[in-house]
Amino acid sequence: MSDDEREEKELDLSSSEVVTKYKSAAEIVNKALQLVVKECKPKAKIVDICEQGDAFIREQTGNMYKNSKKKIERGVAFPTCLSVNNTVCHFSPLASDTSELEEGDMVKIDMGCHIDGFIAVVAHTHVVQSGPITGKQADVVAAANTAAEVALRLVRPGKKNKDVSDAIQKVAAAYDCKIVEGVLSHQLKQFVIDGNKVILSISNPDTRVDDAEFEENEVYAVDIVASTGEGKPKLLDEKQTTIYKRAVDKNYHLKMKASRFIFSEINQRFPILPFTARALEEKRARLGLVECVNHDLLQPYPVLYEKPGDYVAHIKFTVLLMPNGSDRITSHPLQELQPTKTIDDPEIKAWLALGTKTKKKGGGKKKKGKKGDKAEGGAEGEAMDASTNGGAS
């Protein structure tokens, strides 16, 4: 059957239609992030902001491919999360939660959008205040952002995943911060948010990943989380987990009626990508999800914490490894940073000076290096300058 043959040939960036879908998803998630950042004000309810982020993505993707003959799946690829201060990740509470933002909170916003399974994810760190970010908060945001800038320049064909892990740790140390353990940057494929090729944030004996080399036409979600603390996050309360993903390779005959009902709904509405329990009827979901998780039918995304008083910053971007170089398609400008540290290490400076575009062989005079990158990178270029030079101001 021709459809099967099409499926056999994996769709990648060699198809202009695929590139367009990635970029359309990125445009929507970038706008959604912009909206969420604007809503991060003192006394704003976290759950309301999460809902607004998801609703915007659903509405915008719903307006696309309306007249397509073939049904094209589209919508939220990762539910909007707002993780505050020492909360590391995945905080996307249920409707009954009353948590609010306060002045000075450091908020990690994490979200994703897809069109036809082609996923664009983004994470950004915003402090609920006007004026520049200073002190340890500025150091940790600068650490995450500068590590992201270095990673962008090292996730390129011919380089290896280990090169990136070593480099981002070195950058964080320059700001007297730690890269958080257990964070994985995954290759993205159609309907696959956690592909097999990964970059480990920190190599340690407990977590091993296969050595891998980046190749042209691949897509990666580069995920950097830095902390002023030890970088060893803990799960404090399983009941706070609200984000799950169907483990498609697992089956089990559930005993409880509530579990069967919820699992059937998940299979219909969220068969592949992560979803929030907020989308399910709350009382029934609480009962049913436990049995589903206990029998590995769902993969939970737990809410993790550093110690109280620690600050955690998160930057995540989607990058397309195009034939003409790396194209970072998701980002948001940072607030002004005034870190207490500056980058003096020559190796880090050399990484940051690398271009993100590939020079064409024998292609006459090509614009290369920083100038071109800045014009193309916009927000990231400015953000990098703020993080590396801000200490002098």
Report DSSP state, residue 305: E
Read out DSSP for 355-371? -SBPPPTT-SS---HHH
The first and second tokens of residue 61, run together, are 């993707």
Per-residue pLDDT of the chain (393 residues; tens, 9 = 90+): 344 444 446 689 999 999 999 999 999 999 999 999 999 999 999 999 999 999 999 999 999 988 888 889 999 999 999 999 999 999 999 999 999 999 999 999 999 999 999 999 999 999 999 999 999 999 999 999 999 999 999 999 999 999 999 999 999 999 999 999 999 999 999 999 999 999 998 877 677 788 999 999 999 999 999 999 999 999 999 889 999 999 989 999 999 999 999 999 999 999 999 999 999 987 888 889 999 999 999 999 999 999 999 999 999 999 999 999 999 999 999 999 999 999 999 999 999 999 988 765 444 444 444 333 433 333 333 334 433 333 333
Surface-to-core class of residue 157, CB atoms within 10 Å of its CB (0-12 exposed, 13-18 middle, 19+ buried)? middle
Alpha helices in 14-158 (DSSP H): 16-39, 46-62, 135-154
Q: Among 224, 140, 242, which residue's Cα sits nearest to residue 184? A: 224
User: What's the pLDDT at 360?
Assistant: 53
Surface-to-core class of residue 343, CB atoms within 10 Å of its CB (0-12 exposed, 13-18 middle, 19+ buried)? buried
How many whole angstroms separate alpha carbon 40 and alpha carbon 376?
28
Read out DSSP for 175-242? TT-EEPTT-EEEEEBTTBSS-S-EEESS-BTTB-----B--TT-EEEEEEEEESS-S--EE--GGG--
DSSP-assigned beta bridge partners for residue 348: none
User: What's the pLDDT at 125?
Assistant: 98
User: What's the pLDDT at 357?
Assistant: 83
User: What's the pLDDT at 9?
Assistant: 61
Domains of the chain: 16-241+303-353 (3.90.230.10), 243-301 (1.10.10.10)
Q: Residues 197, 201, 206, 211: what is their CA dihedral angle, to the nearest 10 degrees?
A: 40
- Judged by DSSP in three states, 299 sits in strand
